[in-house]
Amino acid sequence: MVFSDNINNLGGVQQVRSLMGVDSTQWPTWKIVNSFNNYLDTCAGYLIGNDRRFQWDDTNHTKLPEGTTNLVANQSDYSFLTDEQGNRILTLTRIDILRSDGNYEKLDLIDQEDVSGALPEFYQEAGKPQFYDKIADNIIRLYPKPSESITAGLKFYFQRTPSYFTAASTTKEPGVSPLLHRGFVIHGAYDGAMTLGLSNLQALSIERQVEEKKMLQHFNSRNKDDTNQSVSGEEVCSV
């Protein structure tokens, strides 16, 4: 479903107004943009929170959710606020470190609760980082802190905000499964009906609950090929 289709009236904007029984003057496009973007955030929240083994990303993003940053000697804390296109990073999923042979290896995730002694005394001396602690969703602390600066020394993987709509989006589609696109229409129409006090508000409320339930069911069953087993790169290559 494209965002807007004035020729065939099949776009999300046209479907929202049709359900509401209004025109563009009564319910302008920018209000539908807000509704669609709010529902995108809802979808992203469910996806990131409920599915730890399938790292969802909006299909409209043109770059992969990964990047590199420089290791700085004696600097233990690193923040990852946005990706290279300016999208906000919501959570980090993995950190790799560059080895001397030019390949990356995975750092182990630890938590402050895993350290029995005083934190300032944990790996006091600089060296090759072995662990990282997620201080916040997009801030990490390395243990030990690096003893040398390395260009692109850290490779990080993440989940980020969706690709949002604007009034000029027209042919853009929601970056989730097409099976969930109707939910955007229902939520957009519900927002309008609630604001304008339309008579079909209750009916739209029921439809909204149906779409949210369908969304959750879809998220919980989409990763059917996952055997829930951890494999190494060598094992993957040998299959």
At residue 48, the pLDDT reads 82
Name the residue with higher pLDDT: 124 or 133: 133
Specify whether the CB–CB gap between 194 and 188 falls below 8 A: no
pLDDT band for 121, please (50, 70, 90 cuts).
Answer: confident
pLDDT band for 137, please (50, 70, 90 cuts).
Answer: confident
Question: Quick one: DSSP state of residue 145?
Answer: P
Q: Largest alpha-carbon pair distance within the chain?
A: 68
Q: State the residue for tokens 């008579």.
A: 199
At residue 167, the pLDDT reads 95
Q: What is the pLDDT of residues 92-102, one digit of tens each?
A: 999 999 999 99
Q: State the residue for tokens 């304008």.
A: 196
- Per-chain mean pLDDT for the chain: 90
Q: What is the pLDDT of residues 54-87, one digit of tens each?
A: 788 999 999 999 999 999 999 999 999 999 999 9
Q: What is the pLDDT of residues 9-47, one digit of tens each?
A: 999 999 999 999 999 999 999 999 999 999 999 999 888
Cα–Cα distance for residue pair 89/98, rounded to 1 Å: 22
Q: What is the pLDDT of residues 159-171, one digit of tens each?
A: 999 999 999 999 9
